[in-house]
Amino acid sequence: MTIQEIERYLKKHHFLIFKYQSAYYTLMRSSSRFCNQYTLIATDTFNQQRNSLEELCEQVYICNGTLLGEAIKYIEIPKWEDVSWETYEAVRHSAIVHGNEIHFFYKQRDYWIAHASDGSSHLSDDLGNTQRFSSCRDLFRYARIDGKTLKDIWEDVSVDAC
C-alpha cells in the first residue's frame, strides 16, 4: 500500500485499521475549517497527530523503531470477514481504541466486554458475574477467567462479535 492509496481511502472513510507485524494501528483523518489532521493511534502508546499524512509518515515511529512511512509498504489490511480480526491483539485494539463491545465464548459460557459512559469497562458472563475496571486497558491487563488472563485463554475463545 502507498501513502497516496491511504490518502484516497481516508477521504472516503473515517479511519483505517491495519496490522504491522503483530500490532494493530488505526489511522484517522479529521477536518476543521482550516486544515486536515492525521492521527496514528496505537493500542498502547500516545496518539501521534500531524497536519498531513506525509508528515505523519516521515516523523512517527511505530513498533521496533520503524518509521511509519517505511512500515506502510508492509502493512496488512485484513478483509472484514478474516479470522485475524478475532485474534487477541485485534480484539484488544478494537475494544481499547474504538470502544467496541466484544462478545465471545469460552468453555461453553458467554462473555462480553462493554464500556460505560464514565470510561470504565467491564467483563461480564452469562451467570451474572461482572468484573469492573477503570479503563478498557486495565480490563485486558487484570481481568481473569478461571484464574487466567484473557491473553492466556484467547486461543480457546470463539469470538461472536467485535
**Domain shared by 90 and 144, yes or no:** yes
Q: Would you say the pTM of this structure is higher than 0.85?
A: yes
**Domain shared by 88 and 156, yes or no:** yes
Q: What is the rounded average pLDDT for all residues in the chain?
A: 94
Q: Answer yes or no: is 8 within a domain.
A: yes
Asked if 114 and 101 count as a contact pair (C-beta separation under 8 A), the reply is yes
Burial of 88-99, coded b for 16+ CB within 10 Å and e otherwise, reads: bbbbbbbbbbee
**Domain shared by 87 and 121, yes or no:** yes
3-state secondary structure of 64: helix
Q: pLDDT tens across 1-46, in order?
A: 889 999 999 999 999 999 999 899 999 999 877 888 999 999 998 9
Show the CA angle centred on residue 17, arms to residues 160 and 89, nearest 5°: 55
Burial of 20-52, coded b for 16+ CB within 10 Å and e otherwise, reads: beebbbbbbbeeeeeeeebbbbbbeeeebebee
Range 132-158 average pLDDT: 97
Cell of 106: 469460552
Boundary-marking domain end, from 72, 104, 131: 72
3-state secondary structure of 111: strand
More confident residue, 32 or 143: 143
- State the pLDDT at residue 63: 84
Q: Answer yes or no: is 78 within a domain.
A: no
Boundary-marking domain end, from 72, 91, 123: 72
> With the CA atoms of 125, 149, 46 and 114 taken in that order, what torsion angle do they form, in degrees rounded to the nearest 10?
0
Strands 66-67 and 148-149: unpaired
With 90 as the cut, is the pLDDT of residue 81 above it? no
Owner of C-alpha cell 466486554: 113
Q: Answer yes or no: is 54 within a domain.
A: yes
Boundary-marking domain end, from 72, 97, 116: 72
Residue 109's CB is within 10 A of a number of other CB atoms, namely 13
Q: Answer yes or no: is 77 within a domain.
A: no
Instruction: Report how many domains make up the chain.
Output: 2
Q: Provide the residue range defining the domain that includes 14.
A: 3-72
Q: pLDDT tens across 117-134, in order?
A: 999 999 999 999 999 999
